[in-house]
Structure 1
Amino acid sequence: MTLLSVKELAVDGPTAEMVAPISLALAAGQSVTLIGETGSGKSLFAQALLGTLPAGLRARGTLAVLGRQVPVDAPQALAGLWGRAISVLPQEPWRALDPLMRAGGQVEEVHRLVAQSDTPRRATQADLEALELTAAADRYPFELSGGMAQRLAIAAARAGGARIVVADEPSKGLDLARRDEVARRLRIVTETGGALVTITHDLELAEMLGGEVIVLREGKVVERGPAAQVLHRPQDSYTAALVAAEPRHWPAPPPPTPGAPVLSGTGLAVARGGRLLFSGVDITLHAGEVVGLCGPSGVGKSSLGDALLGLIAPVAGQITRGAGLAPIRFQKLWQDPPAAFAPHQTLGRGLRDLMALHGVDETRLAPLMARLHLDPALLERLPDAVSGGELQRLAIARALLLDPVLLFADEPSSRLDPLTQRAVIGLLTELARTRGIAVLLVSHNPDLIARTTDRQLHLAPDVEAVDPARAAG
C-alpha cells in the first residue's frame, strides 16, 4: 500500500515559485531524505505536506495520505491527520513542547489521547528510558538542554503511533551516540511498516536512514537516487561540493597567537533545576583563540557558557572578566535562535532597534549580511518566516554588530548545511584572528571541533574538568 503519494507538489510565494514541483511515493517500509543548502526549500516542502506553510505562501499539487486524497491548499484538512496519520518532528523542539507541562506528561498525554493506550504511563516510561530521559520526566522544557528537548519532542511525536513520520532536522543538537539512537528509532518507523520523510543537514544521518535521497538547490531538485549512490557517487557538481564540505574534509587550523585573557573562571560549579551539572571547572579564554567545549548532551555546556556571560550564577567558583570591558561585549550565539528573537517583530526592526540603542552605525549591517550570504529581503520577515539556518546567521550578524570580545557560540552551525556551515565557522575563526575575539565553540561534531579549535575543554557530569591551558600554566 502507498502510504504517502505526492504529485507535482510546489510552493508559491507572493511573487514567485519558491519550491518547484516535486513528486514522490512512499510505500510501507520506505523512506526519503531531503538534503541541500540552507534556504533551498526543504522545510517549505515539508510544511506544504503538513499544511503549515507561513502566511503568504501557497501549496499546489496533489497529495494522498493512506490512500485518501487531501487538498494541499486546505490546511484544516491536513491538520486532522496530525498525530494519527502523520506525526511531525519540527526543527525547533520548543515549538513542539508545551512550556507549562512537565516532560513526562507531554508524552503520556499523546499515548492517552491520540494512541488511546490502555497503559499510557507504562508506555511513557518505556519511551523516556529508551531516550535516556527518565530523570527529566518531572522537568519543564525550559529546564532541559537543547539535546534533551529534541529527544523529548521525538518521544512525544512518535507516541501517537502514526504510520507516516516527517522529521525536520531530528539530530540537531545531539552528540554522536544520541544521534545514532535517533537514527535507530527513525529506522523503526520503516521497519515496522511506516513511511519516513526526513529533512537534514547531517549527511551521515541521511546515509544511516538509507532509502532515497533528494538534493534540493534554490527550490529545485538537482539530484535524486538511492542514499549510497547520491552520497558516495554523486553525479551533480553541487551534490559533490555538498559532500566534500563535511568537516572531516576541512584543513587543520593554523597555530594560534592568542592575546591577553578576556575572561577566566576558577573552580566553577553550575546547577540547573536543583541538580549539580558539573564542578571544579577551570577555564581561561584569550583574545584571538577558538576553544572547543565538548561533552555529552545535558552535561551543562550551555549552562557553563551562560555562567561565563553572567546570565546565571555559578553555585561555586569565581569568574573574572577583562578590566574595562562592558558586559554587552560578551555575546552569545544561541543554540535555538527562535528563542532569541521577538516573534512578532520583523527581523529588520529588531536589528535597527539594537543599533539605535547601542549607537551602532546602520551602514555596518549590509556588509555583514553579504558576508553571511543573507538576502536583505529577509529583514522584512518575521522570525518564523525564515529557515533555521538563515535565522542562525542573522543571530551571528546581530552579535557582531556589538563588537564582542567574547562569543559563546552554542552549536552555531547545527542548523546549517555543510557548505554554509563551513562558511560560517570559517567566518567565526577568521573574526577571532583578525578582530581578537575569543570564541568558545560548542559542537557535538568531533570533526568540526578538531578542524576548527585551538584547544578543547571536555565537560563530564559532576566531576572535575580542567582547562589544559590553565593546567599547563
Structure 2
Amino acid sequence: MLKVEGLTIRFRTAPVDRPVVDGVGFSVGAGQSVALVGESGSGKTLTCRSILHILPRGAEVAGGSILFGRGPEAVDLLRVSRSGLRDIRGSRISMIFQEPMSALSPLHSIGDQTMEVLRLHGHCNRQSARDRCLAMFERVGFPDPLRAFRSYPFQLSGGLRQRAMIAMAMVARPQLLIADEPTTALDVTLQAQVLALIKELQAETGMAVLLVTHDLGVVANMADAVVVMRAGRVMESGCCADVLGRPLHGYTRKLMAAAPSIPEMTCALPAAGAEDAILEFHGVAKSYERGSARVRALDGIDLSVRRGETLAIVGESGSGKTTMARLAMLAERPDPGGRLLFRPSAGEPPLDLLSAAGPELTAYRRRAQMVFQDPYASLSPRMSVGEIIAEPLAIHGVCDRGERRERVQALMAQVGLDPAWACRYPHAFSGGQRQRIGIARALALDPQLLICDEPTSALDVSVQAQVLDLLESIKRRLGLSLMFISHDLAVVARLADRVAVMRAGRVMEQAPPAVLFSAPLHPYTRALIAASPEPDVSRPIDVATVALGAGAPDLWPEAFRPTPDGAPPPLVEAAPGHFVRGHFARRAA
C-alpha cells in the first residue's frame, strides 16, 4: 500500500550535508501495521508529514520516492498534482495528529469538522454524514456522542479532543491511516479500546496503518513490523517479535531498557505516621453549564497531598483529574460549600485559598506551579524559549537579568535541552521538547507544590525516564510535593507514594501503589491495570477485563454498583490506608 525509498528531508537554512531525514525506507502492506519508533526529534513525524505534503515551512524533500497504492494504481506522492493530492488527503489517506488542540479549528464544532471529511469527498449528504459521525463518536468512546457533536474543542478535555481527531481520521474509512501518537492523551482503558477499534477496522477494510509512537507497549499490541529511527536514519527494522524480543542494535536495546512497565509488587500496609498535608480538598465539587444542562465534573472530593509526597491521580479522560488541577491552581473556582486549604509549613495554620487575595494569593502562586498537558497551547508562540522560562522569575522579581539568563541555561540543561537553544521559538521544537520547556518553566521558582498534568505523555521513553529522574531528584533535594496526574500506570508505579483512582468526578479507590497494583479491589482499577500495555508481544491487553471495568457501573459486581436511586456507594477504608467505593464493611486490620 505504501513504499518509501531513500526519503531525504532537509531544512533550507541547514547545510546540504546535514538532512533531518536521511535515506529512510520502509513499506506498509494492505491490512498491515508498521510502527515508527524513536526518540523525540528523530524524524518520525517529518517522515509521515512528507507523505501528505504538509511539511513545516522551510522543510523540503531533497530526494527519494513515496509510492502509494497497489499495482498499476500506484502513484508517487512526491510527484502527484495538487488536485490529485487533494483527492487523496482525508479520503484515501488520513492522519491523526499529535496535538489535537492545535489541529482542530476553534471556530467550528467537533461535529461540523468531522462531517467536513465526508462532505468534501462526496461520500454522503448532510444527514447521512451526521449519522455516520455519531456512530463513529460512539465507537471511539465518547460518553455522550451528541454532546460531543455539538461541542467546540475548548469545551472538551485533552483526551476527548484526541478521540475527536481519531474519529475524524477514521470516519471515511481510509486505505492508509497515519497515526502520529494517536493515544498519547488517552487513558489506558480508552487506549485499549481505540487500539482494538483500529484493528477491527483493519480487518473490515484492509486498511494499512503507519503508527508513530514512543510507547513500546502500544507497539507490541499493534504492530506487525517496527522501524527504529534515530537522528533521521533507520537503525533497525523487522518483524515486531524479532525487534522487541531480540533487538540487535544498541539503540533499540536502550529503548527497551527505558520502556516503563508496572513492576511486580508485594502487598504491604502503609507505614503509620502523622499526616502533614500541604494541600487539602474538603467536599470540593465543580459543575459546568452546557446549554440547558448542568454537568458535574467533580462530586464531593475529599483528598489531601501530604508534604514531601507524590500523590498520583489516575482515571479516564473526563473523570475530573484536570479540573482538580485547575482548582488547585485557582484557575477556576469550585461550587459553593467546598474548601481548599494550603499549609506552607508544618504546624502553621492553613491558608484558605478560596478567600485569599493580594499578597497571600501572589505568595501561593509562587509556591505552587503547574506543568500543563498540552505544551504547544501553553507556550507563547511570540516568546523565545529563554523568555518563556524566565517569565516567572521576572514576574516575581526573583533576580536580575544576568542571573535570570544563568538560571534559564541551568534549567534547560536540567531538563535535557541545549542551553544554546534559548533564542529559538516553540514552533522549532518537537512535542517532547516543548514539554521539557514547560517543565523547566514550572521549576524556575523552586516551588513547594508542583501540579503535573500529564507531564510525560508527549515524551519518548528515554526522555521520559530522564524527566522522571529529574522530578525525583528535585523532589528529594527541595522536599517538593507533587500532585501528579497521569494515565500511564507504569509511571505512577515508579513515582507515586499514594494513588487515587478517579471516575466520573469521584474517587473510586485510594492506596499506596504497592497495595493498589498487587491487590486492587474496585473493578475499574482492575480495568486500568489490565489495559496497561507491556512491551512484550506474548502479553497482549486483556480487552474483556478492560471492557467490564470501564463499562457501565450497573455491570459491576453488586458491592460496587450504585443504589437503586442512583446514589454512589460510600468511600470506605477496606484496610489501613486502602480506601474503596463500595457497599461493604471495613476489613479487619
The two structures share one fold, judged by TM-score above 0.5: yes
1:260-409 mapped onto 2 (5 Å cutoff): 260-272=276-288, 273=290, 274-316=294-336, 317-322=338-343, 323=351, 325-359=363-397, 360=399, 361-409=404-452
Quick one: distance in 2 between partners of 1:205 and 1:129? 22
Partner letter of residue 27 of structure 1? G
| 1:280-300 superposed Cα distances (whole Å, 9 cap, x missing partner) | 211222332111001122111
Partner letter of residue 309 of structure 1? M
Structure 1 residue 263, shift from structure 2 partner: 1.7
8 Å contact kept, 1:280–1:466: no
8 Å contact kept, 2:141–2:190: no
Partner letter of residue 57 of structure 1? A
Structure 1 residue 205, shift from structure 2 partner: 1.2
| 1:237-257 superposed Cα distances (whole Å, 9 cap, x missing partner) | 2212211222227798xx999
Greater CA drift, 346-355 or 50-59: 346-355
Answering whether residue 241 of structure 2 is matched by residue 222 of structure 1, we say no
1:121-140 mapped onto 2 (5 Å cutoff): 121-133=130-142, 134=145, 135-140=147-152
Structure 1 residue 301, shift from structure 2 partner: 0.4
Query: SS state of the match for residue 338, structure 1?
Result: coil
Quick one: distance in 2 between partners of 1:423 and 1:12? 28
In 2 relative to 1, CA 460–145 (structure 1 residues): closer, same or farther, beyond 3 Å?
same
8 Å contact kept, 1:50–1:79: no
Greater CA drift, 212-221 or 130-139: 130-139
Quick one: distance in 1 between partners of 2:455 and 2:83? 35
Query: SS state of the match for residue 51, structure 1?
Result: coil
Query: SS state of the match for residue 90, structure 2?
Result: coil
8 Å contact kept, 2:105–2:153: yes
1:144-183 mapped onto 2 (5 Å cutoff): 144-183=156-195
Answering whether residue 118 of structure 2 is matched by residue 111 of structure 1, we say yes
- Taking only the aligned residue pairs, the percentage that are identical comes to 34
Greater CA drift, 134-143 or 372-381: 372-381
Greater CA drift, 409-418 or 38-47: 38-47
8 Å contact kept, 2:501–2:507: no
Instruction: Name the structure 2 match of 1:411.
Output: 454
Highest CA radius of gyration, 1 or 2? 2
Unaligned runs of 5+ in 1: none
| 1:349-400 superposed Cα distances (whole Å, 9 cap, x missing partner) | 3334444333343211212212221123443333222111100011000111
Partner letter of residue 452 of structure 1? L
Across the aligned residues of Structure 1 and Structure 2, the Cα RMSD in angstroms comes to 2.8
Query: SS state of the match for residue 311, structure 2?
Result: strand
Quick one: distance in 1 between partners of 2:120 and 2:280? 51
Partner letter of residue 282 of structure 2? T
Query: SS state of the match for residue 340, structure 1?
Result: coil
In 2 relative to 1, CA 17–356 (structure 1 residues): closer, same or farther, beyond 3 Å?
same
- The one of the two structures with greater contact order (alpha-carbon pairs below 8 A, sep at least 6) is 1
Quick one: distance in 2 between partners of 1:353 and 1:439? 22
Query: SS state of the match for residue 22, structure 1?
Result: strand
Quick one: distance in 2 between partners of 1:363 and 1:77? 52
Partner letter of residue 166 of structure 1? I
8 Å contact kept, 1:264–1:283: yes
Query: SS state of the match for residue 25, structure 1?
Result: strand
8 Å contact kept, 2:52–2:77: no
Answering whether residue 13 of structure 2 is matched by residue 5 of structure 1, we say no
Structure 1 residue 130, shift from structure 2 partner: 0.8
Partner letter of residue 479 of structure 2? G
Quick one: distance in 2 between partners of 1:352 and 1:72? 46
Instruction: Name the structure 1 match of 2:528.
Output: none
Structure 1 residue 53, shift from structure 2 partner: 2.1
8 Å contact kept, 1:210–1:227: yes
Quick one: distance in 1 between partners of 2:175 and 2:50? 18
Structure 1 residue 221, shift from structure 2 partner: 1.3
8 Å contact kept, 1:247–1:448: yes
Structure 1 residue 338, shift from structure 2 partner: 0.7
Quick one: distance in 2 between partners of 1:187 and 1:435? 46
Instruction: Name the structure 1 match of 2:104.
Output: 97
Quick one: distance in 2 between partners of 1:425 and 1:308? 22
Instruction: Name the structure 1 match of 2:65.
Output: 62
Greater CA drift, 61-70 or 31-40: 61-70
In 2 relative to 1, CA 299–23 (structure 1 residues): closer, same or farther, beyond 3 Å?
same
Quick one: distance in 1 between partners of 2:99 and 2:443? 24
Structure 1 residue 111, shift from structure 2 partner: 2.4
Please give the TM-score of this superposition, normalised by the length of structure 1. Answer: 0.91
Please give the TM-score of this superposition, normalised by the length of structure 2. Answer: 0.74
| 1:160-203 superposed Cα distances (whole Å, 9 cap, x missing partner) | 33211111000112122211122123224543222211100111
Instruction: Name the structure 1 match of 2:38.
Output: 36
Quick one: distance in 2 between partners of 1:76 and 1:231? 41
How many pairs does the alignment contain? Answer: 471
In 2 relative to 1, CA 266–74 (structure 1 residues): closer, same or farther, beyond 3 Å?
farther
Unaligned runs of 5+ in 2: 344-350, 352-359, 513-570, 578-589
8 Å contact kept, 1:59–1:73: no
8 Å contact kept, 1:11–1:58: yes
Quick one: distance in 1 between partners of 2:420 and 2:387? 12
In 2 relative to 1, CA 115–246 (structure 1 residues): closer, same or farther, beyond 3 Å?
farther
Quick one: distance in 2 between partners of 1:394 and 1:366? 11
In 2 relative to 1, CA 115–343 (structure 1 residues): closer, same or farther, beyond 3 Å?
farther
Query: SS state of the match for residue 174, structure 1?
Result: coil
